[in-house]
Amino acid sequence: MLPDEAPGSVAWLQAIVDALCDLSSKDALSGLVNRRSFEMALAREADRVARAGEPALLLMLDIDHFKAVNDNHGHQAGDQVIRAVAQAVVQAVRPMDLVARVGGEEFAIILPNCATHVGVLVAERVRERVSQLAIEVSPGQVLGVTVSLGGAFAPPWVRSSPLLWTERADRQLYRAKAEGRNRACLEPQVDSLVSAEEKGMLFASPILEMQQDLP
């Protein structure tokens, strides 16, 4: 929909730019941040944790048995479930946290400056909020759904990467599913070991790396 301002005006052009930015950064179905914007935000947060040393948590979650929703009730019902879960997750986290839809039924949350005990509480609050949903997918037909969550803290003061951080959170998500779904499994911050790849990134000499890249 075009803005109400006169075509060609500064306000009209700004509204067009804002709309295009939303299209490029937002997921059309859920209204959440899309995967591309999430990956950029995660890279910024990994860099901030390395520089500031503040704890940060990445939560990965997806809707349990979502294929059965589509198979039994149709894709329109599946879309309604995704929108309802997205809204519930946003309501369960802080305004400063970033919630993204990163796949079909997959979501991610970046929680900056998040201590271990806070992360545990937030993950459980998200799980519980979703489990309480009653989603009307058609007249007289209401569905309930659950989510599984996995979380990992970024190592403070360590030069990590979004890929390594995501892999660690994904491992906890797989554990939550293996243990029965509808649960949150977090990697304790005190047990978050720095991987060999992260040690290499931490201690590698930029000059040496440049020399190795030379022919």
Encode pLDDT of 84-101 as tens digits: 999 999 999 999 999 999
User: Do the domain assignments include residue 155?
Assistant: yes
Say how many domains are in the chain: 1
pLDDT digits (tens, 9 = 90+) for 142-201: 999 999 999 999 878 887 889 999 999 999 999 999 999 999 999 976 445 555 665 566
Output the pTM of the full model: 0.80
User: Do the domain assignments include residue 15?
Assistant: no
Number of helices and strands (H, E) in the chain?
8, 7
User: Do the domain assignments include residue 11?
Assistant: no
Residue 107's SS3 state is strand
Residue located via tokens 């509808």: 182
How many other CB atoms sit within 10 Å of the CB of residue 65? 13
- d(C-alpha 173, C-alpha 1), whole Å: 39
- d(C-alpha 185, C-alpha 149), whole Å: 6
User: Do the domain assignments include residue 80?
Assistant: yes
User: Do the domain assignments include residue 63?
Assistant: yes
pLDDT band with cut points at 50, 70 and 90 for residue 207: very low
Cα atoms found within 13 Å of the Cα of residue 104, Cβ hemisphere only: 9
CA-closest candidate to residue 62, choices 85, 90, 94, 87: 85
Residues 6+ apart with CB under 8 A from 75: none
User: Do the domain assignments include residue 194?
Assistant: yes
Residues 6+ apart with CB under 8 A from 213: none
Q: Tell me, what DSSP letter sits at residue 190? A: G
User: Do the domain assignments include residue 213?
Assistant: no
Task: Provide the domain limits for residue 68.
Answer: 27-204
CATH number at residue 148: 3.30.70.270
pLDDT digits (tens, 9 = 90+) for 91-141: 999 999 999 999 999 999 999 999 889 999 999 999 999 999 999 998 999
User: Do the domain assignments include residue 197?
Assistant: yes
- d(C-alpha 184, C-alpha 11), whole Å: 46
- d(C-alpha 77, C-alpha 137), whole Å: 5
| Spatial contact of 59 and 151, defined as CB atoms under 8 Å apart | yes
Q: Give catalytic status of residue 105 as yes or no.
A: yes
45, 105, 187, 198: the catalytic one is 105
